[in-house]
Homo-oligomer: A and B are copies of this chain.
Amino acid sequence: MTVNDIARAAGVSRATVSLVLRESPLVHADTRARVQAELARQRYVYNRGAANLRRRTSSSVALVINDLSNPFFAEFAAGVDQTLAAKGYVTLLGSAGESPERQQAVLASLMEHTPAGLILSPAEGSDGESLRQVLGHSNVLLFNRAVAGTDWDFLALDNRHGAYLATCHVIGLGHRRIAFFGGHADSSSCQQRREGFAQAMAEAGLEVPEASLIESAPNRLEAAARTAELFAGDAAPTAAVCYNDNVALGLMLGLASRGIRAGRDFSITGFDDISEAAATTPALTTIAVNPRERGRQAAELLLQRIDHPEAEPRHTVATVELRIRESCGAPKRT
């Protein structure tokens, strides 16, 4: 089961077996055939860990996702794994459950397996200094969320442009009083989406009163609970650009329970294009980010980084696109 056994059975040295394994042209065709026959006969399985130790290489890449049960990140992970596998890397999976503390522990554990690089979708509230300490000089690609005080490669979604597109669409339908609904105002992705929103509103000469910016944790339940805030003032909005699809779906529930029909009485857009977006009634107009393709892209970027550890850090912005569905209609004439 080791090169030794094969060498002995084939009547050659370990070195020769190793050369055959690594497909070196140095070994005679006859010898190679004999060794390969023996390899097959004994069902030899290569110990890549031992080889990596000796060669001081690595054939693994760590992938740390804040929440794997989120379909968006699951698709992303599938894309990452697909590209890595095609290049001969194995994916070391880590899940941080949106907790910076757990994330530190997971990263520390993964680092002990000497990954060639690491793709990290950071938990909200990640601390740059802590991350740098645990990751040292590893090849790192950040996805989705920037972390202050770090200068690793970064693959960002075009949050600003996505929200801009959604907002322009809503304005184009004739809405004038539009809210930005959901997200934590101190998260970078929320800030960027609000910027895109503000830009579109400004370009259309529309005001953004303070009350039309409503925060909510990015989940359905809290979004539904905050629906009332939309209608607290006297000039209630007729549409909302939502932080993401989950928030939009929660808002739909909140509207329904007040007898307001999404897509008819009130227009909604989301962000992400999760699979439910197409399945709800009305289907959700949203910004598609193609998480699987983003996963492939992230893996490609990291592989480039692994090949060129000294290159300048790169900031890549992934394109997003508007997906128009029924949740977003023209305002009612009153």
Q: Are B113 and A95 in contact (CB under 8 A)?
A: no
Interface 9-residue window, one of A28-36, A103-111, A228-236, A264-272: A103-111
Q: Are A93 and B110 in contact (CB under 8 A)?
A: no
Confirm or deny: A136 has a beta carbon within 8 angstroms of a beta carbon on chain B: yes
Q: Are B81 and A68 in contact (CB under 8 A)?
A: yes
Q: Are A63 and B93 in contact (CB under 8 A)?
A: yes
Other than the given A59-B113, A88-B109, A275-B275, 18 more pairs (CB < 8 A) read: A43-B136, A45-B111, A45-B112, A47-B53, A48-B113, A49-B114, A50-B53, A68-B81, A69-B74, A69-B78, A74-B74, A81-B94, A85-B94, A85-B95, A92-B92, A276-B276, A279-B280, A281-B281
Binary contact readout A40-61 vs B (1 if CB under 8 angstroms, 0 otherwise): 0001011111101100000110
Q: Give A110 to B90 CA distance when docked, in angstroms.
A: 7
Residues on B with beta carbons closer than 8 Å to the beta carbon of A292: 69
Please pick, from B77, B95, B136, the residue contacting A68 in the complex, using a CB distance under 8 A: B77
Please pick, from B45, B113, B249, B275, the residue contacting A90 in the complex, using a CB distance under 8 A: B113
Confirm or deny: A212 has a beta carbon within 8 angstroms of a beta carbon on chain B: no
Please pick, from B60, B82, B94, B106, the residue contacting A95 in the complex, using a CB distance under 8 A: B82
Binary contact readout A101-139 vs B (1 if CB under 8 angstroms, 0 otherwise): 000001011111110000000000000000001001000
Q: Are B133 and A43 in contact (CB under 8 A)?
A: yes
Confirm or deny: A189 has a beta carbon within 8 angstroms of a beta carbon on chain B: no
On whether A136 and B45 interact (CB within 8 A), knowing A71-B74, A77-B68, the answer reads: yes
Q: Which 9 A-B residue pairings sit nearest by Cβ, starting from the closest? A: A74-B74, A281-B281, A68-B78, A48-B112, A91-B93, A69-B78, A93-B93, A276-B279, A49-B49
Residues on B with beta carbons closer than 8 Å to the beta carbon of A88: 109
Copies in the complex: 2
Q: Number of A interface residues at 8 Å Cβ cutoff, please give it.
A: 48
Residues of A290-308 at the interface with B, using a CB-CB cut-off of 8 Å, are 292
Q: Give A68 to B65 CA distance when docked, in angstroms.
A: 14
Residues on B with beta carbons closer than 8 Å to the beta carbon of A249: 279
Q: Give A162 to B233 CA distance when docked, in angstroms.
A: 49
Residues on B with beta carbons closer than 8 Å to the beta carbon of A38: none
Q: Give A143 to B69 CA distance when docked, in angstroms.
A: 18
Residues on B with beta carbons closer than 8 Å to the beta carbon of A47: 53, 112, 114
Confirm or deny: A98 has a beta carbon within 8 angstroms of a beta carbon on chain B: no
Confirm or deny: A151 has a beta carbon within 8 angstroms of a beta carbon on chain B: no
Q: Give A46 to B108 CA distance when docked, in angstroms.
A: 10
Binary contact readout A218-229 vs B (1 if CB under 8 angstroms, 0 otherwise): 000000000000
Q: Are A85 and B113 in contact (CB under 8 A)?
A: no
Question: How many whole Å from A95's CB to the nearest CB in chain B?
Answer: 5
Q: Are A46 and B81 in contact (CB under 8 A)?
A: no
Residues on B with beta carbons closer than 8 Å to the beta carbon of A280: 279-281
